[in-house]
């Protein structure tokens, strides 16, 4: 008996085939009726077997863009056949005639092959990501790629292309410490406590990162740091009321914007007094199962609450006017490793950076206490003058 799990993808007739990094196990074929399909060949093990597949295709697609993975030619033959067993799923091409690309194949929790979500111009020059720097009007845009996942809470690569991973250089190792948000081609905003008292040569920033276990991930870019500028009013003495827990990290070389690396929009001064009730936070921090870090980033929505409600729950001396609280009090929310990431709000189809994850409450055994306490954020709307003065933007 075996269990089959594939993404519910459904993707029309193919004229062009994407690069195939899984050719040992996967190939594009035609059905008896001439329809495009994907075929996977695996040696099944005794007992239960699990197959997970992930595809990527440029453009926003219906979740029915790829069919269910089914035994081929039928379940009885696959169950009784010795040796390699085959499975197929239906595929439909996009408007340019390109089929979805297989980007990860996992068998019994072992990844057999993986590749970038990007589909490059070796198939079609019209699909080449732009190499031009984006203007301010283009910030806050999600990737044009759609990834299809059936299980888990991870989100598609490129959904938040400004998400940065900040590492500390410890001896000969790189240790992931915090998240951050790309706001220009060479500047990342994070929490000051993530880089406080650290020399520039002891910090590394990675953009386009999705798989935290694969530092050489295809498409990701790593940069050394030219300058760290902590907010002048940040102090470790304010650790219990982080009113200015913000740092600007300048990269030693600019990045080129593409589908998995692009900036988020800064909060607009005209909206500084508007308190939205729902934001989104993304990161690789500790999950509800106790994993210190998650391999793939996850996101969660968080309700922004009033200062009065915040003061009732969070254990600080005073909730200062340049910070705010958000949370659902249901166990969800940022945890260890999510510091420095942004609380994002979507307006007019653009994502804006509203706050920076600063301080959360932990229980006596060190577990994040998102059931009874809110998370405190540095309020970027109260710091926009300082931010813009230091990144050369006019108010």
Which residue in the list 143, 193, 243, 338 is annotated as catalytic?
Answer: 193
Q: pLDDT digit string (tens) for 357-385?
A: 886 544 434 445 445 577 888 888 888 88
Top-ranked range on mean pLDDT: pick from 51-65, 100-114, 352-366: 100-114
Band (255; pLDDT cuts 50, 70, 90): very high
259 in catalytic set: no
Q: pLDDT digit string (tens) for 197-229?
A: 999 999 999 999 988 888 888 889 999 999 999
Which residue in the list 52, 117, 245, 379 is annotated as catalytic?
Answer: 245
Q: Poorest-confidence range of 66-70, 111-115, 268-272?
A: 268-272
Confidence at residue 331, expressed as pLDDT on a 0 to 100 scale:
46
339 in catalytic set: yes
Q: pLDDT digit string (tens) for 173-187?
A: 899 989 999 999 999
Confidence at residue 349, expressed as pLDDT on a 0 to 100 scale:
83
168 in catalytic set: no
Give the C-alpha distances (Å, rounded to integers) separating 125 from 92, 130, 144. Answer: 20, 11, 16
Domains and CATH numbers, the chain: 26-128 (no CATH), 164-251 (2.40.10.10), 265-384 (2.40.10.10)
Confidence at residue 203, expressed as pLDDT on a 0 to 100 scale:
96
Q: Poorest-confidence range of 156-170, 246-260, 336-350?
A: 336-350
Which residue in the list 181, 206, 339, 378 is annotated as catalytic?
Answer: 339
């Amino acid at each position: 008996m075996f269990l089959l799990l594939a993404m519910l993808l459904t993707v029309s007739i193919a004229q062009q085939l994407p690069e195939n990094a899984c050719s040992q196990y996967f190939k594009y074929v035609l059905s008896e009726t001439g329809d495009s399909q994907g075929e996977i060949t695996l040696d099944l093990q005794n007992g239960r077997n699990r197959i997970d597949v992930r595809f990527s295709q440029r453009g926003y697609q219906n979740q029915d863009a790829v069919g269910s993975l089914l035994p081929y030619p039928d379940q009885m033959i696959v169950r009784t056949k010795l040796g390699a067993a085959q499975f197929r799923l239906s595929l439909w091409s996009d408007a340019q005639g390109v089929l979805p690309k297989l980007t990860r194949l996992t068998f019994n929790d072992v990844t057999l092959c993986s590749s970038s979500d990007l589909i490059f111009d070796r198939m079609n020059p019209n699909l080449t990501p732009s190499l031009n720097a984006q203007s301010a009007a283009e910030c806050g845009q999600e990737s044009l790629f759609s990834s299809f996942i059936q299980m888990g809470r991870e989100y598609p690569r490129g959904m938040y292309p400004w998400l940065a991973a900040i590492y500390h250089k410890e001896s000969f190792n790189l240790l992931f410490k915090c998240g951050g948000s790309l706001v220009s081609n060479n500047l990342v905003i994070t929490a000051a406590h993530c880089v406080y008292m650290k020399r520039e040569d002891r910090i590394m920033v990675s953009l386009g990162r999705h798989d935290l276990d694969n530092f050489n991930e295809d498409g990701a870019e790593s940069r050394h740091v030219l300058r760290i500028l902590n907010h002048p009013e940040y102090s470790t003495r304010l650790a219990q009321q982080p009113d200015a827990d913000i740092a600007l990290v300048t990269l030693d070389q600019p990045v080129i914007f593409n589908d998995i690396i692009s900036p988020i929009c800064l909060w607009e001064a005209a909206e500084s007094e508007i308190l939205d009730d729902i934001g989104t936070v993304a990161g690789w921090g500790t999950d509800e199962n106790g994993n210190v870090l998650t391999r793939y980033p996850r996101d969660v929505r968080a309700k922004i609450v009033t200062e009065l409600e915040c003061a009732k729950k969070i254990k600080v001396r005073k909730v200062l006017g340049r910070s705010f609280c958000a949370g659902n009090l249901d166990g969800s929310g940022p945890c260890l490793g999510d510091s420095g990431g942004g609380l994002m709000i979507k307006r007019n189809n653009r994502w804006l950076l509203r706050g920076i994850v600063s301080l959360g409450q932990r229980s006596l055994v060190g577990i994040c206490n998102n059931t009874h306490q809110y998370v405190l954020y540095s309020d970027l709307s109260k710091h926009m003058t300082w931010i813009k003065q230091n990144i050369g933007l006019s108010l």
